Homo-oligomer: A and B are copies of this chain.
Amino acid sequence: MSSDFYQKYTNFSEKELLSKIKSKMSAKRFQHVLAVADTAEELARRFDVDVNLARIAGLVHDYAKERPDKEMIALILELDLDSELTVFGNSIWHGILGSVLIERELGITNSQILQAVAVHTTGSPEMSLLDKIIYVADYIEPNRSFEGIETVREIAQKNLDEAVKYEIKHTLIHLIEKEVLIFPKSLETYNACVTKFG
């Protein structure tokens, strides 16, 4: 991809964009981000989605993951979002608010990219192919390791909807076992998955 391409979707060249992303996170998370972009690109090729959109969405998906809580809570107030959101922490905020921050700070206005970032941790009852690709790529990129990952990687080669269903089911069970708060939209995603392809 040429720098020109990046400039079609952001205010920056590829080098500038990567540098901006890298400056906002740990080295380990930056490796994850690059791996998600690669995995998203592969999935996009397989499922006939715009490879460039998938790559950029992968690169920016965790842009806000390491923001201080204070900054994120201020943003929730500024945007007049449901105050319920404040109890959920950055594991939820960084998707919804990340889409706002990548627009403001990286000049990305493409609505498909913004939506894929917004829903990448919770999924949504109505996911585009790009949304599904980022959601799944984040779960199966090569650095990830958990019981069953080979199963979901195989599923993702064949059926993106089944991979999303696998991911939301196992994510919910994992959160429940750890007694972590669950964002209502994650349940909506689950209910949509078991209704549509249950």
Contacts and interface: CB of A to CB of B under 8 A. Distances in A.
Contacts of A176: 169, 172-173, 190
Interface of A: 87, 165, 169, 172-173, 176-177, 179-182, 184, 187, 190-191, 194-195, 198
A30 B172 CA distance: 34
A171 to B, nearest CB: 10
A194 B173 contact: no
Contact of A182 (B87, B177, B179, B191): B191
Contacts of A194: 179-181
* Chief secondary structure at chain A's binding surface: helix
Contacts of A191: 181-182
A185 to B, nearest CB: 10
Contacts of A169: 176-177, 179
18 contacts: A87-B195, A165-B179, A169-B176, A169-B177, A169-B179, A172-B172, A172-B176, A173-B173, A173-B177, A176-B190, A179-B194, A179-B198, A180-B194, A181-B194, A181-B195, A182-B187, A182-B190, A187-B187
Contacts of A184: 184, 187
